[in-house]
């Protein structure tokens, strides 16, 4: 249950002058270390999955673990897609359980960035999912030395930021004011006056990418000028690697489990340090009290089939499972046939939506309209259809 609406969460941080960490995870050690730290610090947390890291894990396989950890947590959690490249990446992430998505079209010219982002915002809004956009360019690659990917920092300007936010409808903006992804070369110089102006122009939660390597004082100044979300990865990756190097010296005859021993704890220590520094520690209770829980909706239909035999009915349902599960905001599609021969309604659909807003966007989606009008409604005689806000038991 402690998955909460990410927009509410970041608005809370923005209005109360602290920042929530969005920690990129690449394995179960990262996932468990981050959640452990958040529990210890009583801090809200964003579990972040970067598309550029999908070569290290299978997104579809790890998401049920991320969701299970989030539901079991006693602190508020959001699950976020970091640097999603396309409309389809954002849709897939939402359907797999992300309740926040980032669109990174920042390498495109402004009009193209606006157009790509606007389309994703339109789709995500129909799912109740907030969107983070990026304007300006933060160079570098998470986990690597910045000098290996120098790129050119392109700074966000307040005027462009205003046009971008107005025309795309993003909920949060990642700004480029001097940070880089990955390990810094030298001491980063941040353009605080620029950040202040952007914040005064936009009045929405701002996001900093490339959190690794900034000083305590820089973090405090960023947060005082509207930064409510800080993306952080390389320092966690380095803490994990240091622990593994240490293990390889002491655990000379160990296998894999010996080499990764205490990696979780090393990650948790760094995450906890950040949560205290960024002011998120101790905020869990008020965030849980003030933010909407993220609850799915079960769209239930029970019905009888007229004019089709069982095989044809199964074929119709198989087509529905395939088509409907790809609609934005659909978490799962179940079909069923009654076990009892004399059941009043022989068949069922159980379609899980990620958020109540999907009730309308699903009904109007062209793939749903085509399936319902051509294959389902003509054969589904008597039927009952109800949407339920669903609360699950803890396992
Ligand atoms: P660092 O790896 O520099 O901490 O940046 C992480 C990040 O911005 C992920 O989007």
> How confident is the model over 134-170, as pLDDT tens digits?
998 777 766 666 555 556 778 899 999 999 999 999 9
Per-residue tokens: 78: 């959001």
- How confident is the model over 197-223, as a mean pLDDT? 97
Distance of alpha carbon 82 from alpha carbon 59, whole angstroms: 12
Provide CATH code, domain 297-389.
3.30.70.100
Q: In the chain, where does the domain assigned CATH 3.30.70.100 lie?
A: 297-389
167, burial (CB in 10 Å: exposed 0-12, middle 13-18, buried 19+) = middle
CATH 3.20.20.70 residue window(s) in the chain: 6-290
Question: Residues with beta carbon inside 6 Å of ligand 1?
Answer: 24, 50, 82-83, 142, 181-182, 209-212, 231-235
**Element (H or E) spanning 270, and its range?**
helix 263-277
Residue nearest atom 5 of ligand 1, based on CA coordinates: 210
Q: The tokens 């402004």 sit on which residue? A: 110
Q: What is the pLDDT of residue 331?
A: 98
**How far apart, in whole angstroms, are the C-alpha atoms of residue 2 and residue 75?**
6
Hunting for tokens 């960023």 — which residue is that?
222
Residue 221 and residue 164: Cα distance in Å, rounded?
A: 24
Task: Calculate what percentage of the chain has a pLDDT beyond 70.
Answer: 96
pLDDT attached to residue 143: 67
pLDDT of residue 252: 85
Q: For residue 232, which atom of ligand 1 is closest to its CA? A: 4
pTM of the full predicted structure? 0.95
Tokens of 67: 């969701």
Mean pLDDT of the chain: 94
* Ligand 1 geometric centre to CA of 7 (Å): 21
* Ligand 1 geometric centre to CA of 105 (Å): 17
**Neighbouring C-beta atoms of residue 86, cutoff 10 Å:** 15
Q: Which tokens is 390 given?
A: 């669903």
Contact of 44 with 76, CB cutoff 8 Å: yes
Which CATH number does the domain 6-290 belong to among 3.40.718.10, 3.20.20.70, 3.30.930.10, 3.40.50.1000? 3.20.20.70
Query: How far is 132 from 207, CA to CA, in rounded Å?
Result: 8
């Amino acid at each position: 249950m402690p998955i909460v609406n990410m927009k509410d969460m970041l608005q809370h941080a923005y209005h109360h002058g602290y920042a929530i960490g969005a920690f990129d995870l690449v394995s179960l050690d990262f996932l468990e270390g981050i959640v452990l730290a958040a529990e210890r610090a009583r801090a809200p947390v964003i579990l972040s999955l970067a598309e550029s890291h999908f070569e290290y894990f299978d997104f579809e396989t790890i998401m049920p673990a991320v969701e299970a950890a989030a539901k079991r947590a006693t602190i508020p959690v959001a699950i976020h897609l970091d640097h999603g490249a396309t409309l389809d990446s954002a849709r897939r992430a939402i359907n797999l359980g992300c309740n926040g998505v980032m669109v990174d079209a920042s390498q495109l010219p402004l009009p193209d960035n606006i157009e790509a982002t606007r389309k994703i915002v339109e789709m995500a809004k129909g799912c109740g999912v907030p969107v983070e956009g990026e304007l300006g360019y933060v160079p570098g690659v998470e986990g690597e030395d910045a000098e290996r990917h120098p790129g050119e920092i392109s700074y966000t300007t307040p005027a462009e930021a205003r046009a971008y936010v107005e025309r795309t409808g993003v909920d949060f903006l990642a700004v480029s004011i001097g940070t880089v992804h990955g390990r810094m070369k030298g001491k980063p110089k941040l353009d605080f006056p620029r950040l202040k102006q952007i914040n005064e122009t936009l009045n929405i939660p701002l996001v900093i990418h490339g959190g690794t390597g900034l000083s305590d004082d820089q973090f405090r100044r960023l947060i005082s000028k509207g930064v409510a979300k800080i993306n952080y990865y390389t320092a966690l990756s380095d803490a994990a690697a240091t622990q593994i190097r240490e293990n390889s010296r002491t655990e000379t005859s160990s296998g894999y489990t010996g080499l990764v021993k205490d990696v979780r704890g090393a990650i948790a220590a760094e995450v906890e340090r950040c949560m205290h520094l960024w002011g998120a520690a101790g905020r869990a209770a008020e965030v849980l009290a003030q933010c909407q829980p993220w609850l799915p909706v079960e769209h239930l239909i029970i019905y009888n089939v007229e004019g089709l035999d069982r095989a044809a009915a199964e074929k119709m349902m198989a087509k529905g499972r395939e088509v409907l599960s790809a609609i934005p905001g659909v978490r799962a599609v179940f079909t069923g046939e009654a076990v009892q021969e004399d059941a009043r309604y022989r068949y069922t659909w159980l379609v899980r939506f990620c958020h109540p807003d999907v009730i309308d966007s699903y009904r109007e989606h062209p793939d749903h309209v085509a399936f319902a009008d051509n294959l389902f409604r003509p054969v589904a005689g008597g039927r009952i259809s109800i949407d339920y806000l669903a609360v699950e038991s803890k396992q």
